Amino acid sequence: MIVNSIQNINSWITQIHNDFKAAVSVDCVIFGYDDSSLKILISRCDMPPYENELSLLGDLVHPDETTDEAAKRVLLAKTGFDDVYLDQVQVFSSTDRHPLGRVITVAYYSLVKIDDDHLAHIGSNDFLLWKPVYEVSSLAFDHIEIMQTCLRKLQKQLREQPIGFKLLPKKFSLLQLQRLYEVILNIKLDKRNFRRKLKSLGILKELGEIQESVSHRPASLYAFDEKIYEKKKKSGFSFEL
């Protein structure tokens, strides 16, 4: 016997327009990398019963936008950037996850460069702060679970896609890049092997510039070459660390 819960079109219409509606939100785990540590941008929560907690940045999805668009809107509002990297991670839909009613949320993670422009943008806002991921131990709602799931996805993606660059300044040294991988993946990498590997991928361009005013031998600077990467990708190349 087939149990078919969709009886007919009238029951569909009733259900879509009345019985089975839920609020849908997006929640963004916004990753930034600064001072050799991976941070997330979080906000003071103003909703009971979580008034004294911190929470991820999110909002309800409006009737006229997709969830991707809603996530972009939240990102633009909170970081001031509209070209951030966004990755849809997972839906969280426990029936009791939100105190005010049924809210199904779509989790995204995003990668931003924490630079001076950006810090100026959020600087005046008392409700926003960057906090090292490994120091975030409690958040409102089910946001800790969302954060952990997004962190695992970031770790996986970092090994499979050239996205680490999105957390670094446009110009970076190879050691900076190595440290980023070490911090996020929580592993130790061999300097010589790492450099050989990255160079052999052929997706970095050496800029012919060097670091300035560092109290050690200045490193030469590199940038990620998006065009070459896209070309290589089309001919079957795949990034793998």
Partner DNA sequence: CCAAAAGTGTTATATTTACACCCATGC
Partner DNA sequence: GCATGGGTGTAAATATAACACTTTTGG
How many other C-beta atoms are found inside a 10 Å radius of the C-beta of residue 86?
A: 18
User: Of the ranges 22-30, 188-196, 198-206, 224-232, which one interacts with its own copies (CB under 8 A)?
Assistant: 22-30
Is 161 a binding residue for DNA by CB under 7 A? The answer is no
Cα–Cα nearest to 29, from 20, 21, 38, 37 = 38
Q: Helix, strand, or coil here: 11?
A: helix
Nearer to its own copies, 36 or 125 (CB): 125
Q: How far is the CB of 220 from DNA (least distance, A)?
A: 4
CA 202, chain centre distance (Å): 26
Q: Helix, strand, or coil here: 49?
A: coil
Instruction: Determine the Cα–Cα distance for residues 115 and 124; give it in Å rounded to an integer.
Output: 15
Q: How far is the CB of 113 from DNA (least distance, A)?
A: 19
Q: What kind and span of H or E run contains 84?
A: none
Nearer to DNA, 146 or 174 (CB): 174
Reported residue count of the chain is: 241
| Spatial contact of 152 and 145, defined as CB atoms under 8 Å apart | no
Binding flags for its own copies, 92-131, as an x/- string (CB under 8 A):
-xxx--x-xxxxx-x---------------x--x-xx---
Instruction: Determine the Cα–Cα distance for residues 39 and 133; give it in Å rounded to an integer.
Output: 5
Is 183 a binding residue for DNA by CB under 7 A? The answer is no
Is 189 a binding residue for its own copies by CB under 8 A? The answer is no
Contact residues for DNA, defined by CB under 7 A: 173-175, 190-193, 195-197, 210, 213-220, 240
Contact residues for its own copies, defined by CB under 8 A: 2-6, 8-9, 12-13, 15-17, 19-24, 46-48, 59-68, 73, 76-78, 88, 90-91, 93-95, 98, 100-104, 106, 122, 125, 127-128
